[in-house]
Amino acid sequence: MSQRFGGRYSPGASGQAPVTVARPHPVGARVNMLFVLPFAFAIRAFFSDATGLALNLTTFGLLMLAAWLTREGVLAHAAYDERSVARRPAIPRKLFAAVLTGAGLGLAGLSGGLVPAVVFAVLGAVLHLGAFGPDPLKGKGMEGVDSFQTDRATRAVEEAESYLAEMTSAIKGTNDRGMARRVESFGTNIRQLFRVIENDPRRLNNARRYLGIYLIGARDATVKFADLYARNRDTEARAEYEALLDDLESRFALRRDALLADDRTELDIEIEVLRERLEREGLRPSA
C-alpha cells in the first residue's frame, strides 16, 4: 500500500512553517544597465583629445554616481512600499539621480553645441523619472501617531534589520546555497513581527527583547557557525544551527500572534464599552 509522505514542511503538517512567496528583487535589469552604459564614455575618452578626455571621463563619473543613487533610491522606495507606516526617504535619491543623468548626457552633448546639450540633458532627466519614478514625497500611515514612539520603533527595526544583514553576510561565507536560502527565509518570516511594530509603535516595549537580545544571539550564532562550517562542513553543527533558527522563528511567530491577539482584545473591549454607552443613551445597537 502506498504511503503519503509527511513531514514538518508538508501541507497540513503540525507546526508547519509559513510559506514564503518569493518576490523579485527591486534592483532589476534596468538599474543594473545604468552601471554598464557609462563605460561607453570611459572607452571613448581614451580615443579623444584632451578636451574630449576630460568631458567623457566627467560624463562617466556623473552617470556612475547617478546609477548608484538610482539603485539606493529604488531600494529605499521598495522598503517604503513594504511598510504600512513609513517616513519619506530623507534624501530624494532618484530625483538627484535624474538631475545627474541629465547633467552627464548634457555634458556629453556639448561637442555638438549648446542646443543639443540642453536637449540631451532635459531628455535624460525626463526619461530617468519616467523609467524609475519620483521618490516618495511624504510619510504614510502616520496620522495621529506619536512621532516619538514612531522614531523609537523605526530605530529599533532598523537596528534589527542590521542584525539580519550581518547574518546574511556571514552565511554567504559558507558557500552553501541551502543555508543561505534558510537564513533568507528566516529573515522573511520574522520581519512579520517588524511590520506589526511599525503598524503600531506602542507594541515596541512588548517586543524589544526579540528585536534586540534574540537577534543579537542569532547573529552571533550565525557568525560562529559560518566560521566553523566553512572549515570542516560539520553536519551536526549544521543541524543544531537549523534547529536554532526553527526555534527562534517559532518564538517570533508566537510573539507576533500575541501582539495581534492583544489588538483584538482591545478592540473587543472598545466595542463593548461603546455598546454600553449606546444602551445608556437609549440607542441600543441592532444585532
Same domain for 273 and 162, yes or no, is yes
Contact 174, 230 (CB under 8 A): yes
Q: How far apart, in whole angstroms, are the C-alpha atoms of residue 259 and residue 2?
A: 43
Same domain for 164 and 229, yes or no, is yes
Whether 56 is in a domain gets the answer yes
Q: How far apart, in whole angstroms, are the C-alpha atoms of residue 17 and residue 19?
A: 6
Same domain for 98 and 197, yes or no, is no
What pLDDT does residue 276 have? 59
Q: Cα–Cα distances in Å, from 145 out to 25, 85, 153?
A: 31, 10, 12
Same domain for 109 and 164, yes or no, is no
Last residue of a domain, one of 101, 132, 163: 132
Range of the domain at 172: 147-280
Same domain for 151 and 276, yes or no, is yes
What pLDDT does residue 94 have? 94
Q: Which residues, in sequence order, are bridge partners of residue 140? A: 86
pTM score of the predicted model: 0.56
Residue matched to cell numbers 523619472:
129
Whether 12 is in a domain gets the answer no
> Which of 262, 168, 178, 176 minimizes the C-alpha distance to 215?
168
Whether 67 is in a domain gets the answer yes
* Proportion of the chain in helix, strand, coil states, percent, rounded to 5: 75, 0, 25
Last residue of a domain, one of 132, 167, 186: 132
pLDDT in tens, the chain (287 residues): 333 333 333 333 434 444 444 455 666 788 889 999 999 999 998 888 888 899 999 999 999 999 999 999 998 888 787 766 667 788 899 999 999 999 999 998 888 889 999 999 999 999 999 999 999 888 776 665 567 777 788 888 889 989 999 999 999 989 999 999 999 999 988 888 888 887 778 778 888 888 888 888 889 989 999 999 988 988 898 999 998 898 888 888 888 888 777 655 554 545 455 555 556 555 444 44
Same domain for 127 and 152, yes or no, is no
If one counts the domains in the chain, the total is: 2
Same domain for 267 and 185, yes or no, is yes
Same domain for 115 and 159, yes or no, is no
Contact 266, 206 (CB under 8 A): no
Task: Please give the grid coordinates belonging to residue 122.
Answer: 532635459
What pLDDT does residue 264 have? 52
- Conformational region of residue 133, where left means phi above 0, alpha means psi within -120 to 50, and beta covers everything else: left
Whether 4 is in a domain gets the answer no
Last residue of a domain, one of 99, 132, 165: 132
Q: How far apart, in whole angstroms, are the C-alpha atoms of residue 234 and residue 66?
A: 45
